[in-house]
Amino acid sequence: MNQIKNIDDCYNPSHDETARQGYISLMRKFIMNDISKLMNLNYEREIKTDFYRIESRFPSSGEEVRRSIEKTDIYKFWSSLRYNAQEMVWESVRRGIEREAPNLISIYKDALEDKSNLATLELDSNLEMPDYVALRDVHLMPGCWQNEYAKDDLSQGAMYAHGGSVFRGSFMPSKKRSGVACSVSKWLSLRYPDFSPVNILETGCTIGNNLFPYLEVYPNATLNGVDLAGPCLRYAFSRAVERGVKAHFYQQNAEKMSFEDKSFDLIVSSFFFHELSVDSTKKVLKECYRLLAPGGILVNMELPPSSQVDPYYNFYLDWDNEHNNEPHYREFRSQDVYELLNGSGFDLNDCFNVTIPDVGGASAKYFNDVALGKAPPPKHGNYTSWCLFGAKK
């Protein structure tokens, strides 16, 4: 029996590794805050005016901003630093995870054998990976989510957990509450006070970061997570066993899931659809409609549609499209989410697209007022507010 019970604690970076991770986190903050501000200032003061002089108008799309800003030194500096910092995030945790790989497997095997276990895991080693995941390392994470380097491997789940902490500048992921799921579940409880789901599904659940927190608002619910990636699902399953929660994880393609019609009363996702081609997005949404019970709710957290933010912010958000191995990012954001939902079967009158504050960052009064439509929603901002689209069936 393994002595370490908590899979998130199965990671012991050396002094130098910890120092490097701290440095990279701070460097990312410097790039995303300070240098970003300088780049924006340069755009407002010079690029926009130059554009106006030639075109007699300001740039009207993210693409036009991109084409005009790409030549500037500040953009090249910002973009290359950002790209390198992204690679350094994963590199800073990779060796530590390789050292722990056998221990991660051993904790997972203990979890499988735990007789008090309320969680289950169904893996399918023959599942075909769609191109949008198989052809590249999304987020520049070596091995992406799904690659396996040993039997029963969990490494990519651990990469996502610990690399994610360096990326966000928040260490000790096991002790952090998850912003999206805590915010969305609280919003649901205010917006739909009589709604009490018993069977919740997350599509693209990865390691369950944004699935487990639903139990805080709906403690009697059963959780279900679908993902393509075996290593991430093993990680999520091990977490569920050590937390003693009723959660089932399935290695399936969300475009075609095995569950019966009307199996769930709440279906959620976060940071998921922008990784998919539009064709796949439509298939997943149709599946969500099929799997929702009447009266059930679908709620997806995603990047804001390009029609809802200004051209500069579109350029800024869509950087990942060209540089972070997320080639469907811009295409997804250009969709009309109401059309997508309606095309999947939902009645237009039952669809929503709202931005809510992060529950941890906003005052309780403001959060409640936004949820109840008594205060204007916040502007989109990374980790300070969440853009949601979905529908009630």
Measured over the CA atoms of residue 208, residue 214, residue 220 and residue 224, the dihedral's sign is: negative
Residue 51 or 386 having the CB closest to ligand SAM: 386
Beta carbon of residue 344, minimum distance to ligand SAM (angstroms, whole number):
15
**E strands of 63-149, at which residues?**
120-122
Do 242 and 6 meet the contact criterion of CB atoms below 8 Å apart? yes
Among 185, 270, 324, 325, the residue binding ligand SAM under the rule CB under 6 A is: 270
Note whether 287 binds ligand SAM by CB under 6 A.
no
Q: Which is nearer to ligand SAM, 74 or 121 (CB)?
A: 121
Residues numbered 85-114 forming contacts with ligand SAM, rule: CB under 6 A: none
Nearer to ligand SAM, 69 or 228 (CB): 228
Among the listed ranges 29-37, 120-128, 224-232, 357-365, the one in contact with ligand SAM (CB under 6 A) is: 224-232
Of 8, 265, 275, 287, which one interacts with ligand SAM (CB under 6 A)?
275
Distance CA 303, CA 300 (A): 10
User: Is residue 145 involved in binding ligand SAM (CB under 6 A)?
Assistant: yes
Nearer to ligand SAM, 63 or 331 (CB): 331
Question: CB under 6 A: which stretch of 187-195, 251-259, 289-297, 333-341 binds ligand SAM?
Answer: 251-259
**Least Å distance between CB 278 and ligand SAM?**
13
Question: Does the protein bind ligand SAM through residue 142 (CB under 6 A)?
Answer: no
Site for ligand SAM in 177-216 (CB under 6 A): 180, 204-206, 209-210
46 — phi, psi (to 5°)? Answer: -120, -50
| Joined tokens for residue 39 | 């780049």
Residues paired with residue 223 on neighbouring β-strands, in sequence order: 200, 247
Q: Which of 93, 182, 221, 226 binds ligand SAM (CB under 6 A)?
A: 226
| Angle formed at CA 165 by CA 334 and CA 131, multiple of 5 degrees | 45
Task: State both tokens at 170.
Answer: 């928040």
What string of DSSP letters covers 345-364? T--GGGEEEEEEE-TTTS-H
Min CB(282)–ligand SAM separation in Å: 12
Binding-residue total with ligand SAM (CB under 6 A) = 23
Q: Which residues contact 293 (CB under 8 A, 6 or more apart)?
A: 262, 263, 264, 265, 393
**Nearest residue to 181 (alpha-carbon basis) of 222, 212, 157:** 212
Q: Does 255 bind ligand SAM (CB under 6 A)?
A: yes
359: contact with ligand SAM by CB under 6 A:
no
Is 271 a binding residue for ligand SAM by CB under 6 A? The answer is: yes
Look up residue 240 and give its two tokens.
């569920």
The answer to whether residue 130 forms part of the interface with ligand SAM (CB under 6 A) is yes
Of 348, 350, 247, 252, nearest to 297 by C-alpha is: 350
Q: Does 133 bind ligand SAM (CB under 6 A)?
A: yes
Q: What is d(CA 381, CA 313) in angstroms, rounded to the nearest whole number?
A: 10
C-alpha span between 245 and 257 (Å, rounded): 23
- The CB-nearest residue to ligand SAM is 204
Which of 181/370 has CB closer to ligand SAM? 181
Give the 3-state DSSP-derived string for 14-51, with helices as H, strands as E and coil as C: CHHHHHHHHHHHHHHHHHHHHHHHHHHHHHHHHHHHHH
In angstroms, rounded to a whole number, what is the distance separating the alpha carbons of residues 379 and 319? 19
In the set 78, 272, 315, 346, which binds ligand SAM (CB under 6 A)?
Answer: 272
Binding site for ligand SAM (CB under 6 A): 130, 133, 145-146, 180, 204-206, 209-210, 226-229, 232, 253-255, 270-272, 275-276
